[in-house]
Amino acid sequence: MSEKLHLDSSNRVLKLSKNVTKNRPLSQEEKNLPENRLLDTRRGKDALAMKDNNLFDIAVIGGGPAGMMAAGRAAELGAKVVLIEKNETLGKKLLITGKGRCNFTHNEFDIRKFAEKFGRNGRFLYGALAQFGVREVIDFFESRGVKGKVEQGNRIFPEEGNAQDILNVLIKYLTEGKVNILLNSEVNGFKQEKEKISQVLLRDRKITADKFIICPGGKSYPQTGSTGEGYRWVEQLGHTVIPPIPALNPVKTSEKWVKELQGLSLKNVSLQLFQNGKKQDERFGEMLFTHFGVSGPIVMEMSKNIGALLKNGPLKLILDLKPALDFKKLDKRIQRDFEKFKGRMFKNSLIGLLPLSMISVIIKLSGIEPEKQVDHLTRDERNKLVHLLKELELTPTGLLGFKWSVVTSGGVALKEVNSNTMGSKKVENLYFAGEILDLDGPSGGYNLQECWSTGYLAGENAAANML
């Protein structure tokens, strides 16, 4: 059934005709957008045409963190901006970051140290971080009512509230700049003339602009709309795309016993990655057992290497449950525990050493008779237990995939983008921002900061050249 868009008497609240099937209601922030600023194409194909409003200074494709920041900054500088989003709402992926709490940046103000976390591509971020870095992001949100709080691992979350509060700030930023927002608008491609883009082609209309900023995200969490179409567009525009792979992804393992530990979170453990007997990676911190394998911060941060190395052959993960103790000290600790539990069965003597849910698994893997008295354990049996706790082996078989990937590795080749402006070196009036770029950092607010920084820089430079 066709739908028609109506403005109420105040020209603010968008309503549906009585004879249409209602969809997701507009949020209060969206309702507060002024006349003709929020245009939901699902609610009438002629919504934009009503105001004959197809000409803009800047068209931003993608209503995620980078796109909202880019559109907001360009509009703040006076540009007439349209923000095009394929979903029915803005910031869909933003709302699930940090388990809904939104770890919006990381407490690291040294640009070089921050950029190092992105590996060899990190130097590309120097210009963006210098212009709109961690301090500027904290100030941006705090000045708009959302104060940051540093939590474990130097992650910065809203002191009060959650991801919705971050999104509300961004929507208000767009409102202040009178950004036109097109929802439910899927991009089919671009019209290119010589070395410039002239139009972005939507399903039911063409949008003409002087400048274009592409920031549709990567392929991670495709259920939020990040399905990778942007890679096709930029290749058609002449750019190179580094093949995208999942990053910050849970890892599948072949061991069946991990399912028995599903939901168990371990803190202050060490995880090492080996291939052909050579150590390839090492992390310290928190990890989580799942029904398919392992997850948690240290696993996710290692997942990119795991995915790449699996192409070359089998891998082995070595989990150290007691990294603060070497083998000799752990053996003495176990002996003290066994002395304390003298006369008890082995299965009842590990309470102070391991989480309760892990005891039965470790006993099975040790091969030690569970009902054997601890004071009757041999030195070899005790040594086997020590090595099991220090060298618990896991065999990674693959990553869980883009559906559960926090971020995408790969994207637009950085050598084809000006790091000081986010402008394309191949297309005169094109800019990039966010996850579509070949940049990915660890968990902890790094990747959202990259979106804020590159989005701000792209919006500023796209607008600056026309004012």
Structure tokens at 176: 């202040």
Average pLDDT over residues 165-185: 97
**Same domain (yes/no): 210, 66:** yes
Q: What percent of the chain has pLDDT over 90?
A: 83
Report pLDDT digits (tens) over 325-369.
Answer: 999 999 999 999 999 999 999 999 999 899 999 999 999 999 999
Residue 239 pLDDT exceeds 60 = yes
Residue 314 pLDDT exceeds 70 = yes
Q: What is the count of structural domains for the chain?
A: 2
Average pLDDT over residues 26-42: 51
**Same domain (yes/no): 309, 237:** no
Distance CA 134, CA 168 (A): 20
Average pLDDT over residues 434-449: 96
pLDDT at 113: 98
Residue 44 pLDDT exceeds 50 = no
Residue 29 pLDDT exceeds 60 = no
Residue for token digits 């120097």? 126
Domain boundary among 400, 416, 447: 400
Which residue type, as a one-letter code, is found at position 243? P
The radius of gyration of the chain from alpha carbons, rounded to an integer in Å, stands at: 26
Report pLDDT digits (tens) over 132-141.
Answer: 999 999 999 9
- DSSP letter string, 443-466: TTTHHHHHHHHHHHHHHHHHHHTT
pLDDT at 248: 94
pLDDT at 39: 55
**Same domain (yes/no): 275, 374:** yes
**Same domain (yes/no): 231, 304:** no
**Same domain (yes/no): 191, 268:** no
Report pLDDT digits (tens) over 62-92.
Answer: 999 999 999 999 999 999 999 999 999 999 9
Which residue type, as a one-letter code, is found at position 367? G
**Same domain (yes/no): 296, 377:** yes
Confidence category of residue 467, pLDDT binned at 50, 70, 90:
low
Range of the domain at 331: 250-400
pLDDT at 54: 83
Average pLDDT over residues 203-223: 94
Give pTM, 2 decimals. Answer: 0.85
**Same domain (yes/no): 373, 394:** yes
Report pLDDT digits (tens) over 405-415.
Answer: 999 999 999 99
Domain boundary among 352, 376, 400: 400
- CA-nearest of 438, 68, 407 to 234 is 438
Residue 389 pLDDT exceeds 90 = yes
Q: What percent of the chain has pLDDT over 70?
A: 88
pLDDT at 31: 55
Which residue type, as a one-letter code, is found at position 37? R
Residue for token digits 């210098």? 130
Average pLDDT over residues 437-446: 96
Report pLDDT digits (tens) over 124-134.
Answer: 999 999 999 99
> End-to-end alpha-carbon separation of the chain, Å?
43
Average pLDDT over residues 230-252: 96
> Which residues lie across from 267 on neighbouring strands?
none
Confidence category of residue 2, pLDDT binned at 50, 70, 90:
very low
**Same domain (yes/no): 212, 325:** no
**Same domain (yes/no): 286, 412:** no
- CA-nearest of 408, 453, 14 to 230 is 408
**Same domain (yes/no): 199, 277:** no
Average pLDDT over residues 366-391: 96
CB atoms within 10 A of CB 428: 12
Distance CA 124, CA 414 (A): 7
Confidence category of residue 200, pLDDT binned at 50, 70, 90:
very high
CATH number at residue 174: 3.50.50.60
8-state DSSP, 64: S
Q: What is the mean pLDDT of the chain?
A: 89
Confidence category of residue 50, pLDDT binned at 50, 70, 90:
very low
Please report how many Cα atoms fall inside a 13 Å half-sphere around the Cα of residue 288, on the Cβ side. 12
**Same domain (yes/no): 119, 213:** yes
Residue 53 pLDDT exceeds 80 = no
Of 13-22, 100-109, 265-274, 340-349, which range is least confident?
13-22
Domain boundary among 400, 424, 444: 400
CA 303 to each of CA 151, 190, 199, 233, 449: distance values in angstroms, whole numbers, following the listed order: 24, 35, 39, 28, 21
**Same domain (yes/no): 256, 208:** no
- CA-nearest of 264, 387, 285 to 334 is 387
Residue 40 pLDDT exceeds 90 = no
pLDDT at 99: 87
pLDDT at 28: 57
- Would you tell me the crossing angle of helices 379-390 and 327-340 to the nearest 10 degrees? 120
Report pLDDT digits (tens) over 5-16.
Answer: 222 222 222 222
Average pLDDT over residues 306-316: 96
Structure tokens at 71: 């559109």
